[in-house]
Structure formats: structure tokens, C-alpha cells
């Protein structure tokens, strides 16, 4: 773990000096995690790919703002999350941004950018129901469900990337699960 | 409704995030509280349902091409910066030359020259004012270092 952190810290220092090659190692390390988080938040493959790549590009452009003593991923996660949520807000305009609504709005206009449970999860009636319910959660709740249930992050890891305490993680998770349960019932 | 003191514990119990001592305390509470044990069962059911959801792994070629997608953006970003700087410099140079030509041209009416100079002076004042305001608020912003 220390070796891993040290390696990352060296790569970040090289990025700060303008090395795109060093950034490549960071991207390769986190690309899958970034993609799957974006997929959970925005709900379709094309947008998840585009937004996760855009987040890496923005991270590279702002790499000087990253405190060298801090880990890359929690900082990067803020960029990724903000991009995904602002994408959802743009997609759903002034309406409440639940993914199901986006689905209805976008289905006739742009099939590629809509929330598409089939492209996200393997086809199955239960899964579709779950995914639809996740789409109806608000940003904070959806984030918790994605991080815990689909990324399998520990409370410690979630607290690190959300810059909050373990207690906050537990109470947010309780509220998120309660809401999801209501939507599924 | 779960007992408020056990809300956090219930989540940690569900996700196996409690140490043995805490687990024991929570299990003792569960034995005496049908509401909490009922809700715990519901959360377990929810977990079983969400465990069924498997995210689709994209094709291998997506991962192979992933870095080039990021690199292209970095390259394009540098391209845009250079293009913008050059365009601004050219515009300033061209504008300066055009204004110089108009001012020096005896055929152009004096009123047009005065209007042009006044327009430039107005723009300069506006620009300085906006910049000064931005710098003032940036310096006074107590939350500028707060992570948003």
C-alpha cells in the first residue's frame, strides 16, 4: 500500500512537471473505477465513457491544485462526480433530475444519451426494476448506493472520497437504502 | 422506524463493518427490539436484490483505447490554448494597426476619430473596473480555499 502511494505520488509530481506519460499510469490505474462510477451515476455507456475521460483530462489540467500529500482518487472523484451531476442537470433541464424522467424526455430525441438499463446491467427483470429505482434517487442517495453496492467500497474508503466521517457515511447510507427500499416496494 | 441510536450500527452490521464488541451490543438490541430486527431483515432483502445487479463490462477494446481518448483531449486542450493566445495577439495587433491607420488618415472626419478614441477609452475603463472588482472579491473571499 505504501509502495502504491509512493509510486502514485512520484507519478503526480511528474505530471506537475508536464509529463503526460506519468499521467497515463494514473489513468490506467483508475480508468475502470472511474468508468463504473460514472456509469452508475449517469446510467449509460457512452456518457459514462465520455464523462470519465473528460474528468481525467480536467484532472490533468488542474493537477497543480492537488495537494502532493493527498491521494489522487478522492480529489479526482470530486471532479468526476461534479461532471456527472452537472451533465444530469443539463439533461433534465429545470425538472427534477431523476433518470427515469430523463429517459422519457430523451427517448424520442437522442437514444444514445438516455438512461439505458439494458446497456448498464445484464438484462433481467429484477435488475431493471432496481436500476429504474436507482435512477429515481436524488444525487446524494444515488452516489451512496453506487459507491457501496456497485463499487463495494468500505466505509473508510467512502468517507475518504466524500471527505466526511464514517458516521456520516452510515447515516447517508441508511437514508439512501431506505429510499431505495420504498421505491422498490 | 429503527431506534435512532441504532441506525448507523444497523448499516455497519449489515455491511460487516462492526468489531466483535459492537456486533454483540447490536445483536443484544436486536433480540429485544422487533422493529429493528424487522427492518434489518428488509435491508437484507434489499441487499440480496441489489447483489443481483451486475454491471456490464465493456469490450476489451474500450480499455485499450481509453488512454488515447484522454490523451487526445490533453493534446487538443494545448492546441486550443495556443490557438486562443495567438488569435488574441493577432486581434490586438490588427486592431491597433487599424486604429492607427484611421487616426493618421487625414481623409477621416475628426468626429469619427474622437468617437473611436472615446470608445477605446470607455472599453479600457470598463475592463480595468471589472478586473479590479474580480481581484478585490477574490482577495476578500474567505471561502476561496474551501473545497467545493
Report phi then psi at A19, rounded to 5.
-85, 110
- What stretches of A20-138 show up as alpha helix (H) in DSSP? 20-42, 45-61, 72-92, 99-106, 117-120, 125-136
CA distance A80 to chain B (A): 13
- pLDDT (tens digit, 9 = 90+) per residue, B93-144? 999 899 999 989 999 899 999 999 999 999 999 999 999 999 888 877 766 5
What does the domain layout of chain B look like in residue ranges? 4-51, 57-105, 109-143
Interface test with A, best of B50, B72, B74, B75 (most A CBs within 10 A): B50
Which residues on neighbouring strands pair with residue A121, listed in sequence order?
B55
**CA gap B127, B141 in Å, rounded:** 21
CB-side neighbour CA atoms (13 Å) of B139: 6
**If you count DSSP H runs as helices and E runs as strands, how many of each does chain B have, helices first?**
5, 0
DSSP string, A138-170: -HHHHHHHIIIIIS---HHHHHHHHTS-HHHHH
Q: What is the pLDDT at residue B87?
A: 96
Contact residues on chain A for B35, CB-CB shorter than 8 A: none
Going by C-beta distance under 8 Å and a sequence separation of 6 or more, which residues neighbour residue A179?
A137, A138, A141
- What pLDDT is recorded for position A3? 55
Q: What are the beta bridge partners of residue B55? A: A121
A126–B42 C-beta distance less than 8 A: no
Q: How far apart are the first and last CA of chain B?
A: 33
Largest Cα separation within chain A, whole Å, is 54
**HSE, side-chain direction, 13 A CA sphere, residue A14:** 14
Query: What pLDDT score does A104 carry?
Result: 40
> What b/e string do you get for B84-103 counting C-beta neighbours within 10 Å, with b at 16 or more?
eeeeeeeeeeeeeeeeeeee
pLDDT in tens, A105-121: 333 333 334 555 555 55
- Compute mean pLDDT per 10 residues along chain A, 185 residues long, and list them: 71 89 93 94 91 96 86 93 92 58 38 51 72 88 93 93 92 94 90
Is the reported ipTM for this assembly greater than 0.85?
A: no
| Residues of A in Cβ contact (< 8 Å) with B58 | 35, 45, 49
Choose among B18, B14, B7, B1: nearest CA to B51: B14
To the nearest whole Å, the CA of B5 is away from the closest chain A CA by: 11
Full set of structural domains in chain A with CATH: 2-184 (1.10.1740.10)
**Which whole-number Å values give the CA distances from B36 to A142, B1, B8, in the listed order?**
24, 7, 12
DSSP state of A150: I
Amino acid at each position: 500500500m505504501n509502495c502504491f502511494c509512493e509510486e502514485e505520488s512520484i507519478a503526480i509530481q511528474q505530471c506537475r512537471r508536464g509529463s503526460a506519460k506519468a499521467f497515463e499510469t494514473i489513468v490506467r490505474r483508475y480508468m475502470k473505477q472511474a468508468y463504473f462510477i460514472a456509469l452508475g451515476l449517469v446510467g449509460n455507456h457512452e456518457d459514462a465513457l465520455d464523462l470519465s475521460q473528460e474528468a481525467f483530462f480536467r484532472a490533468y489540467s488542474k493537477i497543480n491544485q492537488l495537494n502532493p500529500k493527498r491521494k489522487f482518487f478522492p480529489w479526482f472523484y470530486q471532479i468526476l462526480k461534479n461532471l456527472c451531476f452537472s451533465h444530469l442537470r443539463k439533461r433534465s433541464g429545470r425538472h427534477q433530475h431523476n433518470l427515469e424522467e430523463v429517459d422519457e424526455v430523451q427517448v424520442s430525441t437522442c437514444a444514445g444519451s438516455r438512461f439505458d438499463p439494458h446497456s448498464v446491467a445484464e438484462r433481467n427483470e429484477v435488475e431493471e426494476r432496481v436500476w429504474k429505482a436507482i435512477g429515481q434517487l436524488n444525487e446524494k442517495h444515488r452516489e451512496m448506493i453506487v459507491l457501496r453496492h456497485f463499487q463495494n467500497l468500505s466505509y473508510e474508503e467512502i468517507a475518504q472520497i466524500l471527505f466526511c466521517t464514517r458516521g456520516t457515511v452510515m447515516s447517508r447510507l441508511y437514508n439512501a437504502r431506505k429510499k431505495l427500499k420504498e421505491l422498490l416496494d | 422506524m429503527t431506534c435512532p441510536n441504532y441506525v448507523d450500527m444497523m448499516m455497519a452490521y449489515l455491511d460487516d463493518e462492526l468489531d466483535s464488541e459492537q456486533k454483540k451490543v447490536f445483536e443484544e438490541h436486536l433480540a429485544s427490539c422487533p422493529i429493528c430486527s424487522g427492518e434489518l431483515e428488509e435491508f437484507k432483502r434489499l441487499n440480496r436484490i441489489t447483489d443481483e445487479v451486475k454491471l456490464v463490462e465493456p469490450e476489451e477494446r474500450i480499455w485499450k483505447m481509453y488512454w488515447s481518448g484522454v490523451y487526445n483531449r490533453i493534446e487538443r486542450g494545448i492546441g486550443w490554448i495556443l490557438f486562443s493566445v495567438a488569435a488574441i495577439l493577432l486581434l490586438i495587433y490588427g486592431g491597433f494597426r487599424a486604429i492607427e491607420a484611421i487616426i493618421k488618415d487625414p481623409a477621416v472626419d475628426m468626429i469619427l476619430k474622437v468617437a473611436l478614441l472615446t470608445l477605446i477609452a470607455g472599453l479600457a475603463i470598463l475592463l480595468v473596473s471589472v478586473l479590479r472588482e474580480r481581484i478585490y472579491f477574490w482577495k476578500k473571499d474567505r471561502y476561496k480555499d474551501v473545497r467545493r
